[in-house]
Each structure stands twice: as C-alpha cells, then as structure tokens.
Amino acid sequence: MRPSARRTVARDTKYVYTFGEHMSKTVSIVAARRELGRLADEVRRTGQPVILTRRGHAIARIAPEPAIAAGRSSANDPFAELRGTVRLNGTLDELQHAIRDLRSEFGASLDRRAAALRRRTMPRRA
C-alpha cells in the first residue's frame, strides 16, 4: 500500500519502507503529543509499534502489550471488548431454533411484500 493511500494519524507522520514492506511508523514527538489517543488505538489495532522522533532522531517507541503481540489476545478480534458481557438464557439449541424461526418469518414477510409490490406495479386491464 502506498503511503498516500494510508490514513495518517498525525500530520508529521512518515513511513519507513524496505522493498515495499512496511517496517515501522515514525511520528514526531510534537504530533504524538497532540494525537496520543489515536496513536495508542492504532498500535492496539494493528499490533505494529510507532517510533517517536525529535528532530528526526528516534527517542521512544509505543509498542503493543506483549500479550497482544504474542497473539494470546487477538488485536483483530472485533468482539474482544464484549466478551463476558452477554449472558445466554437457554441452550444453544434453543437459540438456533429461535433464529431459524425468525429467518422463516422474515422470509415470509419479504414474500408478502414482494407479492403486494407486484400487484401494484402490474398493468391493469380495462
């Protein structure tokens, strides 16, 4: 992916590439101060460290938590924050049966609407 195609977090952001592979992202310390929350979210989401620079020299690094980097906690899991917050009242078989019932009701409703629409759009015979 080209640097211009990437969504930049801070204005003073540079990408370091070697043979087309993304190595690490560098951000000036001033830009990082303004955008620290977004940088931290990006590091958590991508698992890639961000190098902080002052006058072009690396001075610090923002890196993901070791558990995330090792893959024990998936950084790409969109439901990670919801785990343990949902309680299932019933069995999985009951849930599956209820979902099937809802799908069939929804399908029947769509069929009724399509038939009504066809009746409205059919040319009337005199």
DSSP conformation class of 34: H
> Residue 28 in contact with residue 40, Cβ under 8 Å?
no
pLDDT tens figures, 91-120: 888 989 999 999 999 999 999 999 999 888
pLDDT tens figures, 22-38: 567 899 999 999 999 99
> Residue 68 in contact with residue 47, Cβ under 8 Å?
yes
